[in-house]
Amino acid sequence: MIVSKFIPQTEGWGEDVATWFNILAAFAFVLGGGNLLKLHLQKISSKVTGWGYSVIILVSFIATLVIGLGKFGIHPSAEYPNVAWSGPTQPEGSAFGWVYEYLLQPLTATMFAMLAFYIASAAFRAFRAKNFEAFLLLATAFIILLGRTIAGVFITSWIPPNSPFAFLRLEELSVYIMQIFNTAGNRAIMIGIALGIASTSLKILLGIDRSYLGSSED
Amino acid sequence: MILLQLDTPHKLPALLATISMVLAGCGSSDREISRSSGSDMQVQALDAPFDGGGEIIVSWIEPMDAIDGLQVRFDGFDQSIVDGNMQDIIPLAPTFELEYDVASYQVWRSMTPDEVAMDNKQRRIAAASSAYDIAYENAYAELIQEGVAPLEAGNQASMEAREAADDAIASFKPRTPEPDGFHYTFVTAVPIDRASVMDAFGRGMRTVYGTNLAAQPAGADQQQEKESITNAVKESTGAGVDAAREVFSTHVNKLRVDKLHDADVKAAEAADAAWTAAFKKANDDGRTHQEAVEVADTASDAAFKSTMELYSYRFHVVALDDSGNQIFKSDSTTSIVATDSFFNGAQLPLLVIMLVLCGAVLYFIVMARKGRTLKVRPIAGLKAVDEAVGRATEMGRSVLFVPGIQDINDIQTIAGITVLSRVSKTAAEYDAKVEVPTARSLVMTAARETVQASYLSAGRPDSYNPDLIYYVTDEQFGYVAYLSGMMVREKPAACFYMGCFFAESLILAETGNSIGAIQIAGTAMPAQLPFFVAACDYTLIGEEFFAASAYLSGEADQLGSLKGQDVGKILVGIILLVGCILATIYSVTDSVAVGEIVEYIKNTILS
């Protein structure tokens, strides 16, 4: 895959490797599914605390699997009209599409929506002005938050946009902080990450670090 | 106003231009060069070497007639400088304007049959659409005026408009090809290089100017001095124009035309398809295997050649004046194909950086193996691993380890599992319980192997329980829901988040915080780092996360790799510093040469 970056004729190699990985991962899903069944059946069998949740998981798992594999409500594709299961997996109006649209998506959206509350509680804790650095963080966050709201624009609207002090307008300050300080910090982290990835990859390729395989011994 | 024009024989410049065009094709002796012929403005096209495929370099010299007409107009002096120190006038004060017929060039290339068909189709649709709109508007307005109800008027108007569109399609005439039988499409406009010509003019002029100025009488008043300088400028301008013409006549304009079809790739595909079809047909016709192969080979060769011809290109260049009028047009080059090159030269800076970085890592690994002492700064998050596991042991609760939500092919997941190795070894020594729910089956398998090996190396293989490392779901928020519920129910004393995280990072960290667990996170996702910093006790930021394996193992080999990383940082620092200095110089001086270097760093090395 490294070579394919430099030699155009080998560009397809990376895609081939990725395809092979996807095939392996598909087989591994059977392993994961088997493990899920085993674990929750054990929980139900030994009636550990919360075993009822395991029942719900197993019922949902099996029901979704049957609906998905059975392709209920799916018509054959136009290309192969005589092959019963040739239609797409998840078209609108199919049973599997219904499960996705009306069960999975709302549940996922609910979990995602909770993030707003978690951000509020984390911000409340992070922005306490315990020391000078924390005060700087708080002040910067305050400028950014205000600069991105109508209130922030309104507060400093008395500064003429064409005057030499226009940069003090909160929306301008907010953009400046994000573009200069934030970008600089982000890039510094990104450079460190890139070097770390290169070094780690090299260690793995050379077999210097094999702890992820369960052993660092020779 | 003074207009100066000198007649310069252009045999030598033309020879120099030809030499430089030949040099432009150096290093690609096996590549085809296509030239235009019979025109004053010579154009050549060359399959770009080391381009990664799909690029052709088009180059051309200035039209000789235009060079003959080059003039430089002396516009007088900048008054403010003339009134100042006389010495300052010499290089800066006189102002000139270049008078040159050509203001810019347009490069055109021939279209492939596919492109011609697509172009005709689009133009046909546009003609039909336009005819439909006009007919509809007119018919609708007329019908409304006649008192027809709007809905009915709309229906009738659309019927008439459809007829008009059908007529437009029927009467559509495809664009006529150029006299050489090809259709051409505009590639891009290239402005003339005024800056280097004016530079050359200034240099040529100053040589004569100094001599003329020295000949002026001394002790004159300011007005006399101004007249002296004006005369010196007038007399020296001719030399400047000479120099400017020489620069123009030897200057080769170049354009790299990219995103063209790789003819050899397409031809190879067509040849394969033709071989298979011909072989099958020959078999069906009852020919012997040998005969079928021969027929297929012939068909394959023919398909290869015809496809190469289909995806070949011709170029011509048009010179425009200031008003956009065409003043010169070159003949088209002969056909040329863009082929795949063995090495993609655009990636050369990346290759160099990669070799330096990898070389540095390997060098320090070798040094470490030879016994060189390497010092690593303490990383608080990694020092706290023992403390966190110890706390869980004392409280009699479990340790939760989350290796991110990506698969084992993600380097962050691998880095997370290397940390798991150490965490589980400590847990084995303390007899604590480590629970590893995973979002990918392969990660579960890898994590099981790692934890088992850790228990083995801690001397407690019997305590290893594979059921504590299990698969939950691939679904991002399903995984989060399970983990949050599990954390609230079982209240692990220590939570590790090591891997690739997205929106779930804060949900997990805040839930862990709410149950009072000691939390250590590590990720290389910059967007998630603030969340972990806000909600966790310790956070491994970016490279610290990747250094964890080396730090925790303490092995010389691995510590050497960290030292090699530092060389990479120095390299990046140098590039940043040089880039900043050059960008500053460029913004102050506006130098074309520096600007080109800055562009190269930005567009080639950094991208």
Q: Say if residue B97 is in the same domain as residue B226.
A: yes
Q: Quote the pLDDT of residue B410.
A: 92
Q: Say if residue B277 is in the same domain as residue B415.
A: no
How far apart CA B384 and CA B539 sit, in angstroms, is 11
Q: A214 pLDDT band (50/70/90 cuts)?
A: low
Q: What is the mean pLDDT of chain A?
A: 87
CA distance B424 to chain A (A): 11
Nearest by CB to residue A111, choosing from B342, B440, B481, is B481
Q: A162 pLDDT band (50/70/90 cuts)?
A: confident
Reduce the DSSP state of residue B37 to 3 states and report it.
coil
Q: B406 pLDDT band (50/70/90 cuts)?
A: very high
Query: Hey, is the C-beta of A41 within 8 angstroms of any chain B C-beta?
Result: no
Reduce the DSSP state of residue B403 to 3 states and report it.
coil
Q: What is the largest CA-CA distance in chain B?
A: 107
> Do residue B569 and residue A123 have CB atoms under 8 angstroms apart?
no
Average pLDDT of span B298-325: 91
B561 falls within a domain: no
From chain B residues 425-444, the ones with a CB under 8 A of any chain A CB are 440-442, 444
Q: B520 pLDDT band (50/70/90 cuts)?
A: very high
Q: How many Cβ atoms sit within 10 Å of the Cβ of residue B431?
A: 10
What are the helix (H) ranges across B25-112?
A: 64-68, 79-82, 89-92
Look up residue A26 and give its amino acid.
Answer: A
Question: A211: which chain B residues are within 8 Å (Cβ-Cβ)?
Answer: 417-418, 421-422, 450, 549, 553
Average pLDDT of span B355-368: 89
B55 falls within a domain: yes
What are the helix (H) ranges across B348-457?
A: 348-369, 380-395, 411-430, 441-457
Reduce the DSSP state of residue B312 to 3 states and report it.
strand
How far apart CA B139 and CA B155 sit, in angstroms, is 10
Average pLDDT of span B191-214: 79
Instruction: Return the CA Rg of chain B.
Output: 37
From chain B residues 320-349, the ones with a CB under 8 A of any chain A CB are 340-344, 347
Reduce the DSSP state of residue B73 to 3 states and report it.
strand
Q: State the residue range of the domain holding B158.
A: 113-181
Q: B213 pLDDT band (50/70/90 cuts)?
A: low
B69 falls within a domain: yes
Distances (CA, A) of B223 to A155, B82, B169, B599: 59, 10, 74, 46
Query: Hey, is the C-beta of A118 within 8 angstroms of any chain B C-beta?
Result: yes
Query: Hey, is the C-beta of B476 within 8 angstroms of any chain A C-beta?
Result: yes
Query: Hey, is the C-beta of B510 within 8 angstroms of any chain A C-beta?
Result: yes
Q: Quote the pLDDT of residue B219.
A: 63
Q: Quote the pLDDT of residue B198.
A: 83
B352 falls within a domain: no
Average pLDDT of span B335-341: 86
Question: B450: which chain A residues are within 8 Å (Cβ-Cβ)?
Answer: 211-214
> Do residue B534 and residue A126 have CB atoms under 8 angstroms apart?
yes
How far apart CA B413 and CA B390 sit, in angstroms, is 24
The answer to whether the Cα torsion of A189, A195, A199, A202 is positive or negative is: positive
> Do residue A9 and residue B489 have CB atoms under 8 angstroms apart?
no
CA distance A146 to chain B (A): 19
Question: B480: which chain A residues are within 8 Å (Cβ-Cβ)?
Answer: 111
Domains of chain A, residue spans = 1-70, 76-113, 117-213
Average pLDDT of span B306-311: 87
* Contacts of residue A16, Cβ cutoff 8 Å, sequence gap at least 6: none
How far apart CA B389 and CA B431 sit, in angstroms, is 10
> Do residue B361 and residue A28 have CB atoms under 8 angstroms apart?
no
| Number of domains chain B is built from | 4
The helix-helix angle for A115-126 and A105-113 (nearest 10°) equals 20
> Do residue A198 and residue B568 have CB atoms under 8 angstroms apart?
yes
Q: Quote the pLDDT of residue A85.
A: 79
Q: Quote the pLDDT of residue B37.
A: 62
Nearest by CB to residue A36, choosing from B347, B445, B471, is B471
Is B480:B504 a contact under the CB 8 Å cutoff? yes
CA distance A6 to chain B (A): 5
Average pLDDT of span B445-453: 93
How far apart CA B8 and CA A75 sit, in angstroms, is 80
Q: Quote the pLDDT of residue B57.
A: 92
Q: Quote the pLDDT of residue A7.
A: 86
Q: Say if residue B399 is in the same domain as residue B464.
A: yes
> Do residue A189 and residue B421 have CB atoms under 8 angstroms apart?
no
Question: A115: which chain B residues are within 8 Å (Cβ-Cβ)?
Answer: 503, 506-507
Nearest 5°: phi and psi at B65?
Answer: -60, -40
Which has the closest alpha carbon to B258: B546, B58, B74, B453? B58
Residue B386 has pLDDT above 70, yes or no: yes
pLDDT digits (tens, 9 = 90+) for A103-145: 999 999 999 999 999 999 888 888 888 888 888 888 998 999 8
> Do residue A111 and residue B507 have CB atoms under 8 angstroms apart?
yes
Is A55:A44 a contact under the CB 8 Å cutoff? yes
Q: Say if residue B532 is in the same domain as residue B514.
A: yes
Q: Which of B306, B340, B364 is the last residue of a domain?
A: B306
Which has the closest alpha carbon to B97: B77, B72, B116? B72
Nearest 5°: phi and psi at A78?
Answer: -65, -30
Q: Say if residue B133 is in the same domain as residue B255.
A: no
Q: Which of B138, B158, B181 is the last residue of a domain?
A: B181
Q: Say if residue B537 is in the same domain as residue B445.
A: yes
pLDDT digits (tens, 9 = 90+) for B98-129: 888 899 999 999 999 889 999 999 999 999 99
Q: Say if residue B15 is in the same domain as residue B124.
A: no
Residue B85 has pLDDT above 60, yes or no: no
B228 falls within a domain: yes
Q: Which of B554, B587, B602 is the last residue of a domain?
A: B554
Reduce the DSSP state of residue B543 to 3 states and report it.
helix
B323 falls within a domain: no
Residue with more model confidence, B416 or B227: B416
Average pLDDT of span B85-90: 45
B347 falls within a domain: no
Share of residues in chain B with pLDDT > 90 (%) = 46
Question: B477: which chain A residues are within 8 Å (Cβ-Cβ)?
Answer: 107-108, 111-112
Burial letters for A190-204: b for 16+ Cβ neighbours within 10 Å, e otherwise? ebbbbbbbbbbebbb
Q: Say if residue B128 is in the same domain as residue B22.
A: no
Query: Hey, is the C-beta of A25 within 8 angstroms of any chain B C-beta?
Result: yes
> Do residue B507 and residue A214 have CB atoms under 8 angstroms apart?
no
Q: Distance from CA of residue B557 to its chain's centroid?
A: 36
Tokens of B406: 């990506």
How far apart CA B34 and CA B335 sit, in angstroms, is 7
Q: Say if residue B64 is in the same domain as residue B150.
A: no
Q: Quote the pLDDT of residue B235.
A: 78
Question: B407: which chain A residues are within 8 Å (Cβ-Cβ)?
Answer: 21, 25
B603 falls within a domain: no
**B-chain residue closest to A34, CA distance:** B471
How far apart CA B495 and CA B391 sit, in angstroms, is 11
Q: Say if residue B92 is in the same domain as residue B219.
A: yes
β-strand pairing of B104-110 with B315-320: antiparallel
Q: Quote the pLDDT of residue B38.
A: 54
Q: Say if residue B9 is in the same domain as residue B99.
A: yes
Q: Say if residue B74 is in the same domain as residue B18.
A: yes
> Where is average pLDDT lowest: B35-49, B299-313, B518-532?
B35-49
- Residue B277 class from Cβ within 10 Å (0-12 exposed, 13-18 middle, 19+ buried)? middle
Q: Quote the pLDDT of residue B17.
A: 46
How far apart CA B422 and CA A163 sit, in angstroms, is 59
Query: Hey, is the C-beta of A134 within 8 angstroms of any chain B C-beta?
Result: no
> Where is average pLDDT lowest: A73-77, B333-337, B446-450, B482-486?
A73-77
